[in-house]
Amino acid sequence: MKTTFKDWPKVYERIKRMRGLSQEEKVRLAQALAATPEERWQMHDRFLRSFGLYSHWDRKKLGFSL
């Protein structure tokens, strides 16, 4: 099944009955499974930028050892 990020509702329909995950976790999982590698990389970048952790030095300043 070849999908892109915009197709995540289709993937969600297939996994919505999984047990042990909250609805938010299921939505995030569906988005990650539906996204292409480039879209997953963009999601990762947006996440790091939203917390101010994009550069190595920003992470090191807060105590992350990456």
Percent of the chain with pLDDT over 70: 95
Average pLDDT, the chain: 88
Average pLDDT over residues 36-50: 90
51 inside domain: yes
d(CA 34, CA 3): 5
Distant-in-sequence, close-in-space partners of 59: CB < 8 Å, separation ≥ 6: 53, 66
Indicate whether 66 belongs to any domain. no
- Asked, for residue 27, whether it belongs to a domain, the answer is yes
Task: Quote the number of domains for the chain.
Answer: 1
With respect to residue 26, please indicate whether it lies within any of the assigned structural domains.
yes
User: Per the domain annotation, does 33 fall within a domain?
Assistant: yes
Q: Which residue range(s) make up the domain with 39?
A: 5-61
pLDDT in tens, 19-37: 999 999 999 999 999 999 9
Count the Cβ atoms, other than its own, within 10 Å of residue 8: 19
Is residue 45 in a domain? yes
> Which is more confidently placed, 47 or 62?
47
Q: Is the pLDDT of residue 43 over 80?
A: yes
Task: State the pLDDT at residue 2.
Answer: 76
